[in-house]
C-alpha cells in the first residue's frame, strides 16, 4: 500500500480484519450433526471446507452458550459452557483449532448487556435485597400501586420485545430492568465487581481459548442514565416508550469500552491481533468516531442499521413505511462513508439473524429469474463497498423470505410478545393486528432463521438426517435454493458468490479499502451508481434495481473498462443495463 494513501486516509491502514470475508453462523440452523433437529458445533466443523471453498476467511458464530433459549441463546446462563444441545466445550475448542488450521479466524458473540435470569449471578441477586450481587442488576421500587394493588413499574420504558422493560419480582417486592425479554435482566455496568466478573467470564475465558475476537451484542446500551426518568412519548399507541434517550450511547459507554478493550489486550499472550465488532445501531458522528477510532481503543468497527431498517418506523419496527431506492442508497452509504479520512473503520452487510432476507427486501423474489438476478446484483454491490464484508448463512444461496406462514408458525420471542400485546389491546381481527401480520411477512427476524438446506432431498434438505428440525424449513429448498443444486449449477447464486468473493480479494485495494466514495446520479430511481478511488486507481460501479432495461450515461468521457459484473459477456461500452445488471469498471486517470 502506498504510504501516501495511509497518511491521507488512515482508514486504509491494512489489518486482517478489515479485508477478511466474514460469514455469520446461526448455530441452531446451520447443520445438525447428530440428528436431534438442532444445528450444533460438530455440524459447523463438518462444513468448514464448504466455507473455505466459498472464500470465507473468518467466521462469527452467534451464541452457543448454555441458555434456556428464551431469545435463541442471547440469554446466557453460563458464559463458560456450551449449551448441551450444541455440544461440549471440547467441541468448540476443537472447532477453533480446526478453523485456525484451515486459515480461518473465529469470532464469538459477546452478550453482556444482559444475561439470563437463570444465570447464577441473577439468582443470587434476586435472592435478597442485601445479597452482595444485588447491585449487579438494576432493581427499583414500584412507582406506586394501582387501586387493586398491582405494583406500577418504576418508569415507562418499553422492552425492545414489547411491553414494559420492568419485571416485578414478588420475592423482594421490587422490579428489575430488562431491555429485552423478561428472561434477560440487564447487567449493571456501573458496578465494578459486576464488570470484573463479566470481563473474566464472558471475555477472558474465550480469549484464553484462542478466539480472534468478538461480535459485541447491543454494545451501545451498557451506560444507562441512573436516575431512570420516563422516556418521551414517541409512540402514542403504546403504553410504553423507547428508552433510547436514557440508554443508548450513554454518558459512560466509551469509558466502559475502553476498559473492556484494555482487559482484552491483557489476556492475549501469543501476540495475535484480535478484533471486535460492536452492534451499535444508530449513533451520531462523534460517538461513531469514538467507538472505532484506532486511537480511542474501544472497538475495531461497528454495525449500524440505517440500511437494514429503511422503511420501518423508529418507534415501532413493525410499522412499515414507504421508501425509495434513493432512501436506501443514502442509508447504505451511511454505514461506511463517515470513515473517509479518519482512523476509523466500518462494516458492510445486507443480512444477519435479526433481519429478513435481502433479496425479498431489496431485490425481487417474485419469479426464479428475478430472484437469481437480484441476488447476484446485491452480491456485486456488496463486494464493491468499502469496509469489512459480512455474509449471513444462506445469503450465498440467494435465500428468500418464506411465504404465507400463519403467525403461529413464527418462533421469535419478539414476534410472539408483540402479537400477544397487540391482540389484547386491539383485538385479533383489528387492522392493527392485520398490519402487524403483513409486516411480519416482510421483515420478521424469523426469515433468516430457518434451517439451511444442504440439498433438495428429504424433509429437511439434509439439515438433519431424519429428525424434525427445531424450526420449519423454508419450502423453497425444493425449488433450487440449496447448497447441492447450486454447487452443480455454474450459473447459480452460490457460484456467483464464489467468483465475487475471489474477485474482491484480488482487488482489495480499490474494493475493500477504496475511499472518496461519491454517488453518481443519486436521484436516479432505477440504479445505484458511485465512484471511488485508491491511490491512482479509479472505480465506477453501476447496479440496476430495475426489472427492465435501463439506459444510463457514463459520468464523463474517460475510458471505462469493465472488470466484473453480473452478466457474462456483457459489452462494457453498452449504455443499457439489463434487468438487475451490475457492472464494475476501472476508470482511466486521464480522458
Q: What is the contact surface with ligand GLC in residues (CB under 6 A)?
A: 71, 74, 111, 180, 217-218, 279, 353-354
Q: Which is closer to ligand GLC, CB of 19 or CB of 217?
A: 217
With contact defined as beta carbons under 8 Å apart, do 257 and 291 qualify?
A: yes
Nearest in space to 262 (alpha carbons), one of 199, 218, 216, 217: 199
Q: Could you say which of ligand GLC, Ca ion, none residue 354 binds, taking C-beta under 5 to 8 angstroms by partner kind? A: ligand GLC
Q: How many angstroms separate the Cα of 514 from the Cα of each of 48, 107, 340, 537?
A: 30, 25, 9, 9
With contact defined as beta carbons under 8 Å apart, do 99 and 56 qualify?
A: no
Shortest Å, Cβ 136 to ligand GLC:
18
With contact defined as beta carbons under 8 Å apart, do 68 and 183 qualify?
A: yes
Q: Is 40 in the site for Ca ion (CB under 5 A)?
A: yes
Q: Is 91 in the site for Ca ion (CB under 5 A)?
A: no
Q: Which is closer to ligand GLC, CB of 260 or CB of 510?
A: 260
Q: How many angstroms separate the Cα of 17 from the Cα of each of 4, 13, 370, 389?
A: 22, 11, 33, 10
Residue number of the CB closest to Ca ion reads 40
Of these, 11, 22, 26, 32, which contacts Ca ion (CB under 5 A)? Answer: 32
Residue number of the CB closest to ligand GLC reads 74
* Residues forming the active site: 217, 279
Q: Is 46 in the site for Ca ion (CB under 5 A)?
A: no
Nearest in space to 59 (alpha carbons), one of 239, 214, 185: 214
Q: Could you say which of ligand GLC, Ca ion, none residue 218 binds, taking C-beta under 5 to 8 angstroms by partner kind? A: ligand GLC
Nearest in space to 579 (alpha carbons), one of 382, 370, 406: 370
Q: Which is closer to ligand GLC, CB of 353 or CB of 376?
A: 353
Q: Is 467 in the site for Ca ion (CB under 5 A)?
A: no
Report the C-alpha gap between 483 and 396 in whole angstroms: 9
Q: Which is closer to Ca ion, CB of 29 or CB of 380?
A: 29
Q: Is 98 in the site for Ca ion (CB under 5 A)?
A: no
Shortest Å, Cβ 72 to Ca ion:
15
Dihedral angle, C-alpha 417, 419, 423, 425, nearest 10 °: 60
Q: Could you say which of ligand GLC, Ca ion, none residue 486 binds, taking C-beta under 5 to 8 angstroms by partner kind? A: none
Shortest Å, Cβ 311 to ligand GLC:
19
Report the C-alpha gap between 54 and 589 in whole angstroms: 34
With contact defined as beta carbons under 8 Å apart, do 241 and 232 qualify?
A: yes
Tell me which stretch binds Ca ion (CB under 5 A): 32-40, 206-214, 286-294, 494-502. Answer: 32-40
Report the C-alpha gap between 152 and 86 in whole angstroms: 40
Shortest Å, Cβ 163 to Ca ion:
33
Query: Which cell numbers hold the place of 197?
Result: 466478573
With contact defined as beta carbons under 8 Å apart, do 305 and 354 qualify?
A: no
Q: Which is closer to ligand GLC, CB of 280 or CB of 483?
A: 280
Contacting positions for Ca ion (CB under 5 A): 32, 34, 36, 38, 40
Amino acid at each position: 500500500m502506498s504510504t501516501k494513501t495511509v497518511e491521507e486516509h488512515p482508514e486504509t491502514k491494512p489489518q486482517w480484519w478489515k479485508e477478511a470475508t466474514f460469514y455469520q453462523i446461526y448455530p441452531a440452523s446451520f447443520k445438525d450433526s447428530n440428528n436431534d433437529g438442532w444445528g450444533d458445533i460438530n455440524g459447523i466443523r463438518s462444513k468448514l471446507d464448504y466455507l473455505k471453498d466459498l472464500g470465507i476467511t473468518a467466521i462469527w458464530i452467534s451464541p452457543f452458550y448454555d441458555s434456556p433459549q428464551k431469545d435463541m441463546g442471547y440469554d446466557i446462563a453460563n458464559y463458560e459452557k456450551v449449551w448441551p444441545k450444541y455440544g461440549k466445550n471440547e467441541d468448540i475448542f476443537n472447532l477453533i483449532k480446526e478453523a485456525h488450521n484451515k486459515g480461518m479466524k473465529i469470532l464469538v458473540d459477546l452478550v453482556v448487556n444482559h444475561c439470563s435470569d437463570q444465570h447464577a449471578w441473577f439468582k443470587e441477586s434476586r435472592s435478597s435485597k442485601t445479597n452482595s450481587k444485588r447491585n449487579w442488576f438494576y432493581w427499583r421500587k414500584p412507582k406506586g400501586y394501582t387501586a387493586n394493588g398491582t405494583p406500577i413499574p418504576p418508569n415507562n420504558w418499553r422492552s425492545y420485545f414489547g411491553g414494559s422493560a420492568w419485571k416485578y419480582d414478588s420475592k423482594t417486592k421490587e422490579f428489575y430492568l430488562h431491555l429485552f425479554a423478561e428472561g434477560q435482566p440487564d447487567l449493571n455496568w456501573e458496578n465494578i465487581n459486576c464488570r470484573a466478573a463479566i470481563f473474566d467470564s464472558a471475555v477472558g475465558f474465550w480469549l484464553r481459548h484462542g478466539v480472534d475476537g468478538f461480535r459485541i451484542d447491543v454494545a451501545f446500551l451498557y451506560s444507562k442514565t441512573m436516575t431512570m426518568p420516563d422516556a418521551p412519548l414517541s409512540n402514542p399507541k403504546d403504553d410504553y416508550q423507547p428508552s433510547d434517550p436514557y440508554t443508548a450511547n450513554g454518558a459512560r459507554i466509551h469509558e466502559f469500552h475502553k476498559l473492556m478493550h484494555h482487559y482484552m489486550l491483557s489476556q492475549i499472550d501469543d501476540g495475535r491481533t484480535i478484533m471486535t465488532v460492536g452492534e451499535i445501531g444508530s449513533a451520531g458522528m462523534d460517538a461513531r468516531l469514538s467507538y472505532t477510532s484506532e486511537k480511542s481503543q474501544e472497538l475495531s468497527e461497528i454495525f449500524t442499521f440505517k440500511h437494514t431498517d429503511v422503511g420501518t418506523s423508529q418507534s415501532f419496527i413493525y410499522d412499515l413505511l414507504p421508501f425509495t431506492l434513493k432512501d436506501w442508497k443514502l442509508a447504505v452509504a451511511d454505514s461506511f462513508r463517515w470513515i473517509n479520512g479518519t482512523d476509523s473503520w466500518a462494516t458492510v452487510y445486507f443480512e444477519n439473524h435479526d433481519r429478513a432476507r435481502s433479496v425479498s427486501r431489496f431485490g425481487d423474489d417474485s419469479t426464479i429469474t428475478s430472484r437469481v438476478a437480484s441476488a447476484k446484483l446485491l452480491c456485486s454491490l456488496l463486494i464493491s463497498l468499502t469496509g469489512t464484508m459480512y455474509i449471513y448463512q444462506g445469503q450465498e444461496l440467494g435465500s428468500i423470505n418464506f411465504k404465507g406462514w400463519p403467525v403461529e408458525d413464527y418462533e421469535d420471542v419478539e414476534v410472539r410478545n408483540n402479537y400477544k400485546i397487540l391482540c389484547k389491546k386491539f383485538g385479533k381481527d383489528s387492522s392493527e393486528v392485520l398490519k402487524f401480520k403483513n409486516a411480519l411477512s416482510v421483515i420478521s427476524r424469523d426469515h433468516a432463521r430457518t434451517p439451511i438446506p444442504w440439498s433438495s432431498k428429504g424433509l429437511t434438505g439434509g439439515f438433519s438426517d431424519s429428525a424434525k428440525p427445531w424450526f420449519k424449513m423454508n419450502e423453497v429448498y425444493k425449488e433450487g435454493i440449496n447448497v447441492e443444486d447450486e454447487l452443480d449449477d455454474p450459473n447459480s447464486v452460490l457460484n456467483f458468490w464464489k467468483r465475487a468473493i475471489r474477485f474482491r480479494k484480488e482487488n482489495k485495494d480499490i474494493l475493500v479499502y477504496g475511499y472518496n466514495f461519491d454517488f453518481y446520479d443519486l436521484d436516479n430511481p432505477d440504479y445505484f451508481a458511485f465512484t471511488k478511488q485508491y491511490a491512482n486507481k479509479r472505480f465506477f460501479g453501476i447496479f440496476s434495481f430495475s426489472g427492465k432495461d435501463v439506459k444510463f450515461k457514463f459520468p464523463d468521457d474517460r475510458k471505462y473498462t469493465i472488470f466484473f459484473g453480473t452478466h457474462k459477456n456483457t459489452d462494457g461500452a453498452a449504455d443499457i443495463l439489463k434487468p438487475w445488471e451490475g457492472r464494475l469498471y476501472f476508470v482511466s486517470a486521464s480522458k
